[in-house]
Structure 1
Amino acid sequence: MGKTYAVTKTIQEINAKIKSGKAVVLNAEEMIEMVRKSGKEKAAQEVDVVTTGTFSPMCSSGMLFNIGQKNPPVIKCSNAWLNGVPCYGGLAAVDSYCGATESTEDDPLNKVYPGQFKYGGGHVIEDLIRGKAVHLKANGYGTDCYPRKEIDKDITLADLPHASLLNPRNCYQNYNAAVNLTSRIIYTYMGPLKPNARNCNFATAGQISPLFNDPYLSTIGLGTRIFIGGAIGYVLGEGTQHNPKPKRNERGIPLSPAGTLMLKGDMKKMDARYVRGVSIVGYGCSLALGVGIPIPILNEEMAWFTGVSDADIQMPVKDYGYDYPNGLPRTLKHVTFEELKSGEFELNGQQVHAVPITSYARSLEIANELKSWIEDGKFLLSEPQEPILSE
């Protein structure tokens, strides 16, 4: 990790400056220029918070919801569907979970093109946040305390006593750049990949992505307050598939998929601009989600980390045609995020067209929205209550 610098500020001191309107807040893009021109020492002295953002498909997401017991007789839901999307009901009487990648059981697109789905859990979540009515169907086997056996009605988000995004794995710290070395087109969660490496699809927001700006998760842990879906939410801890000890480059940036976060947020306060159901051709459904994390500049080290640029980030190119489905982790090469953003890079003597599945423009918008919340005193930083293992 390198030299550890003495703390020059505390989160409490930064929050006091936010409350008084004196905090200096930069987005991650602006911080790159600050560190380049002035150096990490001056940047640490002058900047209090750096805001980050990402807007990308995050398949490991879903909605935990409660339908309430307003109309007698009451029910214990064994099975539930929202607009035809199956939800998991094995929690309590009227608690269910709607996964973002779950698809409708009778999706008309799947009937014509097997393996393709038009509507799924991510779309249900977006529709509810937009204020639309969705159809709830639920059933139970009936008990003495829960005698009702069926529910069949339209509901809105306002009708639900509780609805939150509860996401097991978001905000991947680095990820694969996907190509296909076989002779046929393949359909993946990274999108369609043309044969013979005629395209490369890649994710993350690069230099403004949250975990590239705090590569050792020094300021992010249980209880960290964040922007999620246009509302205030929290980090619950490490996400599933979290890799705490990846190989890193000289800036501490992982050279492979590494850190992940488990997140939550109140859906009733969210904005559908930052929560979108998506259908990925030939793969299925997912949820595109906006997340922003503030990085407090406590010392020179954090100033240095938040000065990361696209040229500092190296992403592994992987073959999804043969290697990935056969469980082979081979990396064909590393390319910088700067190269990927340019639109093409060289692989095995040929130029490969690179296509992002993360919106950089929307990611920067999220970083700026979070910046304005902090500058307006509407968002305070929080102390992590438990660290996330990162080395």
Structure 2
Amino acid sequence: MRTIAEINDKIERKQAVVWTVEEVKTRVEETSVAEVAREVDVVTTGMFEPMESSGALFNLGHTDPPIKIRRCWVDGVPVYSGLGAVDLYLGASEMVEGVEGEETRERGGGQAIEDLIAGKALPLRAVGQVTDCYPRASFETTITRETINQFYLFNPRNLYQNFIVGVNGGDRLLYTYLGPLQPQLGNAVYACSGELSPLLNDPELRTIGIGSRIFLGGSIGYIVGEGTQHFPLQKRLPNKTPIGPAATLAVVGDAKQMSRRWVRGCYFKNYGPSLMIGIGVPLPVLDEEVVACCAVRDRDLVAPVIDLSIPRRIRPTFGLVSYAQLKSGRISIEGKSVRTAPLSSIRRSREIALELKQRIDSGEFTLTEPTAPIPMDRSFLPQNVWGSRITFD
């Protein structure tokens, strides 16, 4: 029906019809897939949730005399320095090193990234490898986003296509990457926004690929390839959506243009820091199949309920539940009513889809043609460790 070039031409002339994914779902139920496909050009989606496989790459610029940084800390958070002399990578889940006090220990890479995006000044301490061309041994300074050169988010695993529902069938409280899980199935936590989630509305990644422009942290970002733990061969329902964690994407964007509203550091008690990121993905309506996929509802999407009290790679499951059940506030597990809570912000996800719609309507945001598709044939390889002793607390 359309090409991305034709859609961009309409966007530039401010004649494109852009709807949020929720508007599309409602209109399909009121009319039909064919009718909506004839009318709409772009569908906007959004998500706002913790994504710990994220981080910031930045370049300090050279000191005088120059230094080849081999160890570095930003606001007490260790920064990876095994790149160029003053190129650094600040991981979102890295923790403050060697400082006592609960308040300090709850800070990490995610909070440091948020503060830099917000324009705050942070202390930096560096130790160098002394060489003939880099004679300086150490230095200390403060940095802001204005006093460093390149500063961009490079996130190896974002935009999860579905996830798990975590529960705790054991006898003690668990502190997990989903937050606290109460013993004896006291609660259930899920981390996906369901029918709002970008990749559940394009389950086979037909409309996006390497080079696709997205909304990332309040600015423009791009998909750079498959994410780590990309597993598109996950089992799927007849509607093509996966029954558990599946595809992931790696993304990049200029952090100097981002907003603290859409990039927030967070901390999971007794687990560690992370980063909440707002991402919006525009889906070009190339044909009716795009709309048919976007018509999927929470009742048509499922996630596995996993018992995280079992400390193994493969854990017991209590079966599948729909996102409609999860969003109702309670699910039933073996006859027990269990309260549910999301890590993903449904309200913020809606706001991102709406803001992206407004940017496209104004002609500010156009689409890009992918340079290559995302591979959809990747299996998931576990790591088997032989000859080592396994201990559990």
- Per the normalisation by structure 2, the TM-score is 0.94
**Residue pairs, 1:314-353, within 5 angstroms:** 314-322=302-310, 325-353=311-339
Per the alignment, residue 161 of structure 1 pairs with: 149
Deviation at 1:339, TM superposition (A): 0.7
Task: Measure the CA separation in 2 of the matches of 1:14 and 1:173.
Answer: 26
CA shift, 1:329, in A, is: 4.2
What is the match of residue 97 of structure 2?
A: 105
**Quick one: which amino acid aligns to residue 220 of structure 2?**
I
Give the SS at the match of 2:312: coil
**Separation in 2, partners of 1:232, 1:360:** 21
**C-alpha contact (below 8 Å) 2:25/2:294 kept by paired residues:** yes
Unaligned ranges ≥5, structure 2: 378-393
Provide the alpha-carbon RMSD of the alignment.
Answer: 1.2
Q: Match for 2:15: what amino acid? A: K
The correspondence for 2:27, drawn from 34, 50, 61, is 34
Q: Are residue 247 (structure 1) and residue 235 (structure 2) matched?
A: yes
What's 1:285 paired with?
273
Deviation sequence 1:110-136 (CA, Å, 0-9, x none): 5x9xxx931000001000011100001
Tell me what 2:213 maps to: 225
**2:179 equivalent in structure 1:** 191
Alpha-carbon shift at residue 219 of structure 1 (Å) = 1.1
Deviation string, structure 1 residues 35-87 (Cα, Å, up to 9, x no partner): 11121111111010000000000000000110001x41111101111000001
The question of whether the paired residues in 2 share the 8 Å contact of 1:180 and 1:321 is answered with yes
Report the equivalent of 1:172.
160
Partner of 2:70: 78
Change (3 A) 1:154 1:208: same
**Residue 49 in structure 1 maps to residue 42 in structure 2:** yes
Any idea what the Cα deviations from partners look like across 1:363-390, whole Å, max 9, x if unmatched? 1111111111100000100111110122
**Partner Cα separation in structure 2 for residue 212 and residue 202 of structure 1:** 15
Which residue of the partner structure matches residue 5 of structure 1?
none
Which residue does the alignment assign to 2:130? 142
Q: Percent identity?
A: 47
* CA–CA distance in structure 1, aligned partners of residues 136 and 360 of structure 2: 48
Q: Give, in whole Å, the separation in 1 of the partners of 2:354 and 2:343.
A: 20
Given the superposition, is the C-alpha separation of residues 135 and 18 from structure 1 closer, same or farther in structure 2, using an over 3 Å criterion? same
Distance, in Å, in 2 between the alignment partners of 1:131 and 1:342 is 39
Distance 2:101 2:346 in 1: 30
The yes-or-no answer on 1:386 pairing with 2:372 is: yes
Q: Which residue of 2 aligns with 1:373?
A: 359
- Measured in 2, the distance between the counterparts of 1:352 and 1:239 equals 32
1:4 corresponds in structure 2 to none
1:88 maps to a residue whose letter is Y
Please tell me whether the aligned partners of residues 205 and 374 of structure 2 are also in contact (alpha carbons under 8 angstroms): yes
* Aligned-residue offset at 1:108: 3.0
8 A Cα contact 1:117 1:285, kept in partner: no
Report the residue type matching 1:81 in the other structure. Answer: W
Please show how residues 86-97 of structure 1 align to structure 2 within 5 Å. 86-97=78-89
Contact 2:306 2:317 in 1 (8 A): yes
Over residues 246-300 of structure 1, what are the superposed CA-to-partner deviations in whole Å (9 max), with x where a residue is unaligned?
1111211100100000000000000000000001111010000100000001000
Offset of residue 151 of structure 1: 1.5
1:362 to 327, 345, 348: 348
**Alpha-carbon separation, structure 2, partners of 1:209 and 1:109:** 37
Rounded Cα–Cα distance in structure 2 between residues aligned with 1:207 and 1:107? 42
1:173–1:259 CA contact under 8 A, matched in 2: yes
Instruction: Check whether the contact 1:117–1:279 (CA below 8 A) recurs between aligned residues.
Output: no
Partner AA of 2:37 in structure 1: A
Q: Is the 8 A contact 2:308 2:315 kept in 1?
A: no
> What CA distance in whole angstroms lies between the structure 2 residues aligned with 1:326 and 1:316?
16
Contact 1:62–1:165, Cα closer than 8 Å, also in 2: yes
- Describe the SS at the equivalent of 1:351: strand
- 1:138 and 1:92 mapped to 2: Cα distance? 14
Decide whether the 8 Å contact of 2:72 with 2:124 is kept in 1: yes
Partner residue in 2 for 1:294: 282
Residue type at the aligned position of 2:193: A
Aligned to 2:107, the other structure's residue is in SS state coil
Q: Is the 8 A contact 2:210 2:370 kept in 1?
A: yes
CA shift for structure 1 position 141 = 2.0
* SS of residue paired to 1:124: helix
SS at match of 2:376: coil
